[in-house]
Amino acid sequence: MGSSKNETFYSVQEKFNQYWENKAPEKGQGYKIFKRWENQIADKIYPSGDMSLPSHTYPNFIEWQQRYNNKLARNANSKMKATLTSSQWVSLNQNAIASGYDSGSGRLNFVTFDPNNPTTTMFVGAPDGGLWKTTDGGTTWTTNTDYLPIIGCSGLVIDPNNTDIMYLATGDRGSDRSSIGVMKSTDGGLNWNTTSLVFTAQDEYKINKIVMDPNQSNIMLVATNKGIFKTTDGWATHTAPSGTETSPTFTFFDIEYKPGSSTVAYAGGYEMYKTSDGGDNWDYIDSANLPNANDVIRIELAVTEADSDYVYAIVGRESDSGFEGFYRSTDSGDTFTKQSSASTPNILHSDMAPTAASEGGQANHDLAITVSPNNEDKITIGGVNQWQSVDGGLNWTRITYWRGTDPNHPGEGDAPEAYMHADVQYLQYLPGDTATTTLFATCDGGIYKSTDDGISWTDITSNIAVGQQTNIELSETTEDFYFAGLQDIGSLLHKNGAWSVLTGGDGEDGFIDRTNDNYIVSSTTNGDFFLSTDGGADYRDVTWTTPLPKGQWFSPIEQDPGNVDNVYIGGRPHLYVSTDMFSGNSDFTHSKTGAIAPSPADKNILSFEIAPSSNNVIYVIKENIISKSTNTGVYMDRYFCRFTSCKC
């Protein structure tokens, strides 16, 4: 999550809360992206709010991981090796995507094609799931990057002269997974080694794009959040941005070579730059029609072989991550024309029928663009959904919708356009496709393929296991019965040897009734809970007789170990309880009449546990304070401080 170096977590949080104070959160307005980040980082930077702290502690993990791998390598025949190899973890959902509408595997950042066999051999990279390869066009996938120092992947380029040589941009450009630089493989991805471009987590670098010179495979450019790096010898050495006017250390999100050129390239961040000497020097594009940098949150670029002089830019606006405008140059980036703007429908919004007045979008998280290689007027844009123009960006038609029509699930969906999982991260036409109708998209659900230029889509994610799991709940009566909450994918239920979608959104906390598997409680963000009374076949929203205050992003829920009828939830200042959760009239109230919110009274409960030995005893965590109740939550005693530095 980007912010000024002078800001703390709490100042960023305050601005966000002020913006949303009188607004109802909706899909595709950036609310979820921020709240997810807030939930991940809040306890890591308390109480200072210094957002650099996670980067300073992460190297400890890297150091341990390297020691572990080195020791494993040195002791190939040892007892430790035998124990570890006999205790390997096995993925439980790597054979197929869960059945049901709006399913998925997890976010994928990009797709890269083997130059010699693009129709069958391709690679995809995940923010936390490594690099995956298929040699059969997406029917099956494999990975061997689980033990890299970091398994976040932001880009990959392959040497067309020797496809065993490839370069991997590490880290996740869309979150706080810092890069450790560019890694190189000389055996087709079987093994990876560091190059001269090495970062540490404390450096807080993000690689947003890596590109290879179309004529000289040893020359590459890397766009980062601190400038553009260049190599002329396959990253044996490199030059770093100097901070001068022609070598800025700004954030650059995208970089593209002019088709066929080794000298001309374009870069987009909050402004646009151009090089005419292969990346040694960069000139600011001072076109009167381009937006002011203060109004921009992100720029993504595209070029086309249909006319190498054309350059395209999709721009997200700073105020709300919505659609700022679409720009086109016909003179190799010297001047730009604004083809469409926020006065047209906000094509980055999630609405079924967005208008110019529709606020918000997710340009900071998902923004992609590609242009037909044989038609310079056909442009496809990816945001929450996909939109396409056939007149150079003057007019747009939506071609996919996150609640669209899925032929595999008739009757589901709210719109006639094709279904694709929300939040498109990357778009690219199949290289060498003479018909130029085969298009690929990666998104928060996986990878999709279209063979009719975006009209219909097929999910080819198959066995890729990259889901970012937040929770798992097990049945206490049936061994093979459980469900998991996953970021972006929802809650997935495993029953009778198969996976199915239980509920959508971001899967969070829940439980399976200890005595009856038919009763399942799942949840999504901000404390919205769902109840199934038929073992997951159907579900309904859990509603309250008296509305509860909105919960925090992850709101914990627990079934009383001594009384299955009692269910407690946190995520609010008070601890709440229901004594009729499964009756169909759920009524959560303060845990007991006269109950006092545990200190501090204005903060939400992050976590709580009910003692298995006595359900009268409940422990509650809020920020740095643990409170204890011995009378089922009527009164919470401040018990002790989580951090010795606190002043409680």
Note the pLDDT tens digit of each residue in 393-405: 999 999 999 999 9
Q: Which residues contact 582 (CB under 8 A, 6 or more apart)?
A: 513, 519, 531, 533, 565
Q: What is the mean pLDDT of residues 569-587?
A: 77
Which pLDDT belongs to residue 298? 97
Asked if 105 and 422 touch (Cβ cutoff 8 Å), the reply is no
> Which one has a higher pLDDT value, 160 or 643?
160
DSSP designation for 11: H
- The CATH number linked to 637 is 2.130.10.10
Q: Report DSSP letters for 462-489, one per residue.
A: TT-----EEEEEE-SS-TT-EEEEETTT
Q: What is the mean pLDDT of residues 75-96?
A: 61
Walk across the sheet containing 166-170 and list its strands: 153-158, 166-170, 181-185, 193-198
Note the pLDDT tens digit of each residue in 587-614: 566 554 445 577 777 888 999 999 999 9
Which pLDDT belongs to residue 545? 59
Q: Are residues 619 and 491 in the same domain?
A: yes
For residue 326, the SS3 value is: strand
Give me the half-sphere count of Cα atoms (radius 13 Å) on the Cβ side of residue 580. Answer: 9
Which pLDDT belongs to residue 52? 77
104 inside domain: no
∠ at Cα 529 (109, 351), nearest 5°? 50
Query: CA-to-CA distance for 311 and 334, rounded, in angstroms?
Result: 10
Which pLDDT belongs to residue 644? 40
Which pLDDT belongs to residue 1? 52
Query: CA-to-CA distance for 242 and 525, rounded, in angstroms?
Result: 43
565 inside domain: yes
DSSP designation for 233: S
Q: Is the predicted pLDDT of residue 346 greater than 70, yes or no?
A: yes
Q: Are residues 129 and 270 in the same domain?
A: yes
Q: Is the predicted pLDDT of residue 111 greater than 60, yes or no?
A: yes
Q: Report DSSP letters for 53-102, one per residue.
A: HHHHHHHHHHHHHHHHHHHHHHTTTSHHHHHHHTT----SS-SSPPBSTT
Q: Which residues contact 254 (CB under 8 A, 6 or more apart)?
A: 208, 209, 223, 267, 268, 299, 300, 301
**Structural element, H or E, at residue 368:** strand 368-371
Which pLDDT belongs to residue 571? 87
Name the pLDDT band for 642 (thresholds 50, 70, 90).
very low
**Structural element, H or E, at residue 590:** strand 589-590
Which pLDDT belongs to residue 2? 46
Q: Report DSSP letters for 503-565, one per residue.
A: E-SS----EE-SS-TT-EEEEEGGGEEEEESSTTS--EE---SSPPPPP-SS--EEE-SS-TT
Query: CA-to-CA distance for 190 and 633, rounded, in angstroms?
Result: 55
Name the pLDDT band for 629 (thresholds 50, 70, 90).
confident
Q: Are residues 161 and 46 in the same domain?
A: no
Q: What is the mean pLDDT of residues 349-363?
A: 84
Q: Which residues contact 79 (CB under 8 A, 6 or more apart)?
A: none
Of 244, 267, 286, the last residue of a domain is 286
445 inside domain: no
Tokens representing residue 191 in the block? 């093994």
Q: Are residues 130 and 260 in the same domain?
A: yes
Domain that residue 176 falls in:
113-286
Q: What is the mean pLDDT of residues 150-172?
A: 97
Mean of pLDDT over the chain: 88
Q: Is the predicted pLDDT of residue 286 greater than 70, yes or no?
A: yes
Q: Are strands 153-158 and 625-629 parallel, antiparallel or unpaired?
A: unpaired
Name the pLDDT band for 622 (thresholds 50, 70, 90).
confident
382 inside domain: no
Which pLDDT belongs to residue 508? 92
Q: Is the Cα torsion angle 258, 264, 270, 271 positive or negative in sign? A: negative
> Which one has a higher pLDDT value, 492 or 551?
492
Residue 174 CB neighbours (<10 A): 22
Which pLDDT belongs to residue 408? 83
For residue 123, the SS3 value is: strand
| Of 576, 559, 564, 560, the residue nearest 614 (C-alpha) | 560
332 inside domain: no
Name the pLDDT band for 409 (thresholds 50, 70, 90).
confident
Q: Which residues contact 68 (CB under 8 A, 6 or more apart)?
A: none
Which pLDDT belongs to residue 436? 86
Q: What is the mean pLDDT of residues 487-514?
A: 92
Which pLDDT belongs to residue 75? 62
Q: Is the Cα torsion angle 172, 178, 184, 188 positive or negative in sign? A: negative
DSSP designation for 476: S
Which pLDDT belongs to residue 27? 67
411 inside domain: no
DSSP bridge partners of 622: 625
> Which one has a higher pLDDT value, 54 or 509?
509
Q: Are residues 152 and 243 in the same domain?
A: yes
Q: What is the mean pLDDT of residues 210-215?
A: 99
Q: Are residues 159 and 230 in the same domain?
A: yes
Q: Are residues 143 and 255 in the same domain?
A: yes
- Return the amino acid letter for 33: I
Q: Which residue's structure tokens are 């970012």?
A: 468
Note the pLDDT tens digit of each residue in 510-528: 999 999 999 999 999 888 8
- Return the amino acid letter for 56: H
Q: Are residues 31 and 121 in the same domain?
A: no
**Pick from 107-121, 153-167, 494-508: least confident:** 494-508
Query: CA-to-CA distance for 502 and 514, rounded, in angstroms?
Result: 18
Query: CA-to-CA distance for 100 and 102, rounded, in angstroms?
Result: 7
83 inside domain: no
Q: Are residues 122 and 45 in the same domain?
A: no
498 inside domain: yes
For residue 122, the SS3 value is: strand
| Of 113, 114, 106, the residue nearest 130 (C-alpha) | 106
> Which one has a higher pLDDT value, 47 or 544?
47
Q: Are strands 446-450 and 424-429 parallel, antiparallel or unpaired?
A: unpaired
Q: What is the mean pLDDT of residues 351-369?
A: 87
Q: Are residues 134 and 33 in the same domain?
A: no
Of 241, 266, 286, the last residue of a domain is 286
Q: What is the mean pLDDT of residues 84-92?
A: 66
Which pLDDT belongs to residue 358? 80
Overall pTM > 0.75: yes
**Structural element, H or E, at residue 500:** strand 498-503
Query: CA-to-CA distance for 619 and 626, rounded, in angstroms?
Result: 7
Taken as a whole, the chain contains a residue count of 648
Q: Long-range contacts for 610-615 (Cβ within 8 Å, ≥24 apart)?
A: 610/558, 610/560, 610/561, 610/562, 610/568, 611/561, 612/561, 614/562, 615/560, 615/561, 615/562, 615/563, 615/566
Q: Which residues contact 23 (CB under 8 A, 6 or more apart)?
A: none
Q: What is the mean pLDDT of residues 356-375?
A: 92
Our count of domains for the chain comes to: 3
Q: Are residues 489 and 562 in the same domain?
A: yes
Query: CA-to-CA distance for 440 and 10, rounded, in angstroms?
Result: 40
Of 286, 303, 326, the last residue of a domain is 286
Which pLDDT belongs to residue 25? 74
Which pLDDT belongs to residue 641? 47
Name the pLDDT band for 636 (thresholds 50, 70, 90).
low
Note the pLDDT tens digit of each residue in 431-476: 998 888 999 999 999 999 999 999 999 999 999 999 988 899 999 9
Q: Are residues 244 and 172 in the same domain?
A: yes
Give me the half-sphere count of Cα atoms (radius 13 Å) on the Cβ side of residue 142. Answer: 8
